[in-house]
Amino acid sequence: MNYTYRIENAFSDEFLAAAAGLYRIAGWVGQDDDCGFLAQALRNSCAVCVACDEAGGLAGMGRALGDGISDAYIQDVVVAPEHRRRGVGGAIVRALVAELRKRGVDWIGLVGEPGTEEFYRSLGFRAPENFTFWRCPAGGE
């Protein structure tokens, strides 16, 4: 199967419904959760890359957060199960990196799910030594 990849800037209701489906598949939102936040989250992203199958359906996506000029983080990379193991996720990450580099971003980190370490390592990412990931708990607790 052939896929097309593009940096997306327009988020139609149809696209947002498909993206919400991917977020549900990934387990980032529940089946009955409101995904109304997704439109603003995608608009506020530095870059969003989508992968479409031959029929034009959303096969996968990923996004980068950052200032768009020096630093960025890639996150929310997801591929629909029927399109996995076909290079789609890697192509999404490479497209995001290329877009960020084109904008002059020279520091690119990422947030990945447990178990994705080898996937990102194969794309050239390395866990830096002497750094610790910090996270503020939801609700500031």
d(CA 27, CA 89): 17
Closest CA to 133 of 67, 75, 89, 78: 75
CB burial readout 42-75, b (16+ within 10 A) else e: beebbbbbbbbbeeeebbbbbbbbbebeeebebb
Q: Report pLDDT for 140.
A: 58
Kindly report, residue by residue over 74-116, the tens digit of the pLDDT: 999 999 999 999 999 999 999 999 999 999 999 999 988 889 9
Q: Please determine, for residue 139, whether its predicted confidence score (pLDDT) is greater than 70.
A: no
Q: Report pLDDT for 12.
A: 95
Structure tokens at 104: 């002059």
| H helix count then E strand count, the chain | 4, 5
Given pLDDT bands bounded at 50, 70 and 90, which one contains residue 127?
Answer: confident
Q: Report pLDDT for 43.
A: 96
Element housing 37 (H / E)? helix 37-43
Q: Are 71 and 36 in contact (CB under 8 A)?
A: no
Given pLDDT bands bounded at 50, 70 and 90, which one contains residue 131?
Answer: confident
Terminal Cα distance for the chain, rounded: 47
Q: Which domains occur in the chain, in start order? A: 4-140 (3.40.630.30)
Q: Are 78 and 23 in contact (CB under 8 A)?
A: yes
Q: Report pLDDT for 91.
A: 98
Conformational region of residue 79, where left means phi above 0, alpha means psi within -120 to 50, and beta covers everything else? beta
Q: Please determine, for residue 141, whether its predicted confidence score (pLDDT) is greater than 70.
A: no
Kindly report, residue by residue over 12-49, the tens digit of the pLDDT: 999 999 999 999 999 999 999 999 999 999 999 999 99
Q: Report pLDDT for 3.
A: 98
Q: Report pLDDT for 134.
A: 82
Q: What is the 8-class DSSP label of residue 100? A: H
Mean pLDDT of 62-83: 95
Q: Rounded to two decimals, what is the model's pTM?
A: 0.92
